[in-house]
Amino acid sequence: MASIRFEKAQRWYPGADAPAVPGIDLEIRDGEFMVLVGPSGCGKSTTLRMLAGLEAVNEGKIFIGDRDITALPPKDRDIAMVFQNYALYPHMSVEDNMAFALKIAKVPAQQRKQRVREAAEMLGLTEYLQRKPKALSGGQRQRVAMGRAIVRSPQVFCMDEPLSNLDAKMRVQTRTDIAKLQSDLGTTTVYVTHDQVEAMTMGDRVAVMNVGELQQVDTPLRLYDHPDNLFVAGFIGSPQMNLMKAVAVDGKAKIGDYLVPVDPASQRKMSGKVTVGVRPEAWRLTSDGGEGLPITVTLVEDLGADSFIYGTSEVEGTPSTVIVRVSERGRIHKGDVIHVTTDPRNVHVFDTNSGERLSD
What are the chain's domains? Answer: 4-230 (3.40.50.300), 240-351 (2.40.50.140)
b/e map 29-44, b = 16+ CB within 10 Å = eebbbbbbbbeeebbb
Residue 306: CB partners within 8 Å, gap ≥ 6?
A: 325, 326, 327, 329
Q: Is the pLDDT of residue 301 over 80?
A: yes
Asked if 154 and 79 count as a contact pair (C-beta separation under 8 A), the reply is: yes
Q: Which pLDDT band holds residue 130 (cuts at 50, 70, 90)? A: very high
- Decide: helix, strand or coil at residue 168: helix
DSSP string, 87-132: ---TTS-HHHHHHHHHHHTT--HHHHHHHHHHHHHHHT-GGGTTS-
How many percent of the chain have pLDDT more than 90? 67
Q: Is the pLDDT of residue 288 over 70?
A: no
Cα angle, residue 311 at apex, residues 261 and 224 outer, rounded to 5°: 55
Q: Could you read off the pLDDT of 108-118 as tens digits, one per residue? A: 999 999 999 99
Predicted structure pTM score? 0.90
What local confidence, expressed as pLDDT, does residue 298 receive?
Answer: 97
Neighbouring C-beta atoms of residue 88, cutoff 10 Å: 22
Q: Could you read off the pLDDT of 290-300 as tens digits, one per residue? A: 688 999 999 99
